[in-house]
Every structure is written in C-alpha cells, then in structure tokens.
C-alpha cells in the first residue's frame, strides 16, 4: 500500500504503469494470503464432502458380483416404483415449499412490522419447534390428525362431519407435517431480509403518491424477494431428502427418495444400489439449484440475505 500511496503523488503516465504492476503484485499476494487462510476449510470440504461423494459415485457403478455395471441405474427405468418415487418426492417438495411460502410470507411480514420486543417474543414461537425433535412433532401431528384424533373428534362432536376425514396416513398428512417442520427455514431468512429493507424507501414511495398496495407491490415485495428466494431454495432442497415425516405419516403410500435409499441398502447386498439413489438425488438437486440460479440470479443460491 505504501508503494501505491507514494506513486499517487506523481500523476505521470509511466508512474501509473509501475503503480499498476505493484497493485497487481499486491492483489496476488493478498489472494495467496487469503487462499492460505482458507486452506484448512477447503481441505476439510475436500475430505468430508468431495471425497465421500466421489466414493459414493464410484460405489454406484458396481453390481452385486462386484463387476463394473450400470445395473444400479438401469433399475430405475426397469422398475416402475422408482420413477413413481421420484415423482412423489418432487411433488411433496413442491407442495410443501408452496405451503411454506403461503404461510411463511405473511408471518415474516407481520414479524418484520412488529416492534422489536414483540417481534422477538413472536420469533420464539417460530424457533421453538426447531428445538423439538422431528420425531416428537411428527407423532404429535398423528395424534391430532388421525381417525380418532383431535380434529376428527371435535368436528364429529360439533356435528360438522358424520364420518372422520382421512387426514392421516396419506399425502395430505405428509404435507401438513413437513410444512410445520420446514416453516422456520423459510421464515428466518425471509424475516432477516425484510428487516433490512430501508423503510425510507417505502416512505419515499408513499410521499410520491403511491397507495399502500402499490408501495408493497412495487417496493417491499421486490426488495424481499432475495430473502424469499433463499428460503425457498433451503426448504425445497431439505424436502427432497426428507425421511422421518413421510415414513411415519404417509401410511406407506407416500414413498420418498430417502426412504428408498434405506430400503435399497438392506434389500441389496451391494452398496451400489443405495449409492446410485444418492447420486441421482444429488444430481437432481444440483440441476435444480442451477435452474434456480439461472432464474433468480446469484441472490437466491448465494448469500443468506442482501442489504
């Protein structure tokens, strides 16, 4: 830096060339330094993420006799249930993400508008379920939703319905249970992004004669989109690998990809069968992240929220 500041005193052309060279060297030194600082992290990522994924891919290429083969992948096309599972997995993920946006956006909006103290208190109710085991929450939903559960008992006692509604052990139950679990993952980034919206922008909009609706639609909503996008990506990706809730609440009729992985590792005597399922899910997830990235820009897949 001292070189740069010294050369600034002379504004001559040759000096600037020298200066640029010094700056470049400086930048190179700095990036080397940063790389050195990052290297423990990079090494860790390489050891615990890149290597195991590579290994997973390697395993998926061998059949039960240990021969190199594509049979683990061919199975997905030969057996109808795999395609069905794949479709179900994405159907569940889309529906749950949609439900989370539907419930999460107004909730985050309300939280962002409340006074700090009240918002803090309300946030506890959003975060509290985070601290409760997924298994406990799933069973709690069963108690509420099943044929002789709270909802059906109340509705029948009130005379609203004559026959119990089929709320448990089906697709709807899985969506309800997973939405509850996923909601904080959407609300938290969204809330952070909404809190960072400069209220002066909104005031300026109203000052210029925009109605509250127009202010919301044209200023608040676009500014909150990065937070929404990152929340959506987090929820969607987590949904794709979900196991406990569909296993317990789907009544064996909603089979998701992770459940097939568990099944495959015990049914087949080689790890390849389960590994191939893992590779396919990973590839699908990455492809989808790429799509999000392309549609929504770096804001969605990059940072948590942006000022």
Q: List, in sequence order, the alpha helices (H) in the chain.
A: 2-8, 13-45, 51-59, 71-78, 80-113, 116-127, 134-145, 150-157, 171-195, 199-207, 212-215, 221-240, 244-249, 257-267, 272-296, 298-301
* Whether 300 contacts 229, CB under 8 Å: yes
Instruction: Tell me how far, at minimum, the Cβ of 252 lies from another protein, in Å.
Output: 3
- Minimum distance of another protein from residue 88's CB (angstroms): 8
How many angstroms separate the CA atoms of 153 and 106, rounded?
30
Check residue 168 for interaction with another protein (CB under 8 A).
Answer: yes
Report if residue 268 touches another protein, rule: CB under 8 A.
Answer: yes
Please choose, out of 116-124, 140-148, 176-184, 288-296, the segment that lies near another protein by the rule CB under 8 A. 140-148
Beta-carbon contacts of 249 under 8 Å, excluding residues fewer than 6 positions away, are 138, 141, 142, 145, 168, 169, 173, 174, 176, 177
Choosing from 183, 255, 275, 300, the residue that interacts with another protein (CB under 8 A) is 255
DSSP 8-class letter at 297: -
First to last CA, the chain: 29
Examine residue 74 and tell whether it contacts another protein (CB under 8 A).
Answer: no
Which of residues 101, 142, 223, 238 is near another protein by CB under 8 A?
Answer: 142
Stretch that binds another protein, among 50-58, 145-153, 194-202, 294-302 (CB under 8 A): 145-153
Pick the stretch among 44-52, 143-151, 180-188, 211-219 that binds another protein (CB under 8 A). 143-151
What tokens does 146 get?
């099943």
Residue with tokens 């107004």: 106
Distance of closest approach, residue 266 Cβ to another protein, in angstroms: 5
Q: Is 107 in the site for another protein (CB under 8 A)?
A: no
Sign of the dihedral defined by the CA atoms of residues 149, 152, 153, 155, in that order: positive
Q: Is 265 in the site for another protein (CB under 8 A)?
A: yes
Residue 175 CB, shortest distance to another protein, in Å, is 17
Please report whether residue 133 would count as binding another protein according to CB under 8 A: no
Does 29 contact another protein by CB under 8 A? Answer: no
Q: Per-residue x/- mask for another protein, residues 205 to 244, rule CB under 8 A?
A: ----------------------------------------
Q: Which is nearer to another protein, 202 or 244 (CB)?
A: 244
Q: Which is nearer to another protein, 70 or 286 (CB)?
A: 70
Footprint (CB under 8 A) of another protein, residues 77-96: 79-81, 84-85
Q: How far is the CB of 172 from another protein (least distance, A)?
A: 13
CA geometry: angle 137, 176, 160, nearest 5 deg: 110
- Measured at the alpha carbon of residue 255, what is the angle toward residues 250 and 256, in degrees to the nearest 5? 110
Binding residues for another protein, total number by CB under 8 A: 27
Near another protein by CB under 8 A: residue from 147, 154, 286, 304:
147
Contact 262, 271 (CB under 8 A): no
Residue among 189, 173, 178, 181 nearest 129 (CA): 181
Q: Which residues bind another protein (CB under 8 A)?
A: 75, 79-81, 84-85, 142-143, 146-149, 166, 168-169, 247-248, 251-253, 255, 263, 265-269
């Amino acid at each position: 830096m001292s070189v740069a500041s010294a050369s600034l005193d002379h504004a001559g052309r040759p000096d600037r060339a020298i200066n640029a060279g010094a700056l470049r060297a400086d930048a190179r030194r700095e990036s080397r330094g940063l790389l050195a600082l990052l290297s423990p992290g990079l090494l860790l990522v390489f050891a615990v993420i890149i290597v195991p994924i590579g290994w997973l891919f390697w395993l998926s290429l061998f059949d039960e006799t240990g021969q190199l083969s594509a049979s683990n992948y061919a199975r997905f096309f030969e057996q109808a249930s795999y395609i069905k599972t794949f479709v179900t997995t994405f159907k569940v993920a889309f529906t749950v993400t949609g439900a989370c946006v539907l419930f999460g956006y107004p909730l985050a909006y309300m939280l962002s508008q409340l006074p700090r103290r009240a918002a803090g208190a309300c946030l506890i109710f959003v975060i509290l379920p985070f601290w409760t085991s997924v298994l406990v929450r799933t069973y709690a939903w069963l108690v509420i939703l099943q044929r002789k559960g709270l909802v059906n008992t109340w509705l029948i006692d009130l005379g609203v319905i004559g026959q119990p509604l089929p709320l448990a052990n089906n697709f709807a139950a899985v969506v309800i249970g997973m939405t509850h679990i996923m909601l904080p993952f959407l609300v938290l980034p969204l809330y952070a992004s909404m809190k960072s919206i400069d209220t002066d922008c909104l005031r300026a909009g109203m000052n210029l004669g925009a109605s509250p609706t127009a202010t919301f639609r044209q200023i608040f909503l676009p500014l909150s989109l990065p937070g929404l996008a990152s929340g959506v990506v987090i929820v969607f990706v987590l949904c794709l690998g979900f196991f406990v809730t569909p296993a317990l609440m789907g009544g064996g009729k909603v089979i998701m990809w992770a459940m097939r992985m568990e099944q495959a590792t015990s049914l087949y005597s080689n790890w390849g069968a389960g590994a191939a399922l893992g590779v396919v899910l990973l590839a699908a997830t990455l492809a989808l992240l790429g799509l999000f990235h392309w549609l929504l820009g770096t804001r969605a897949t990059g940072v948590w929220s942006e000022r």
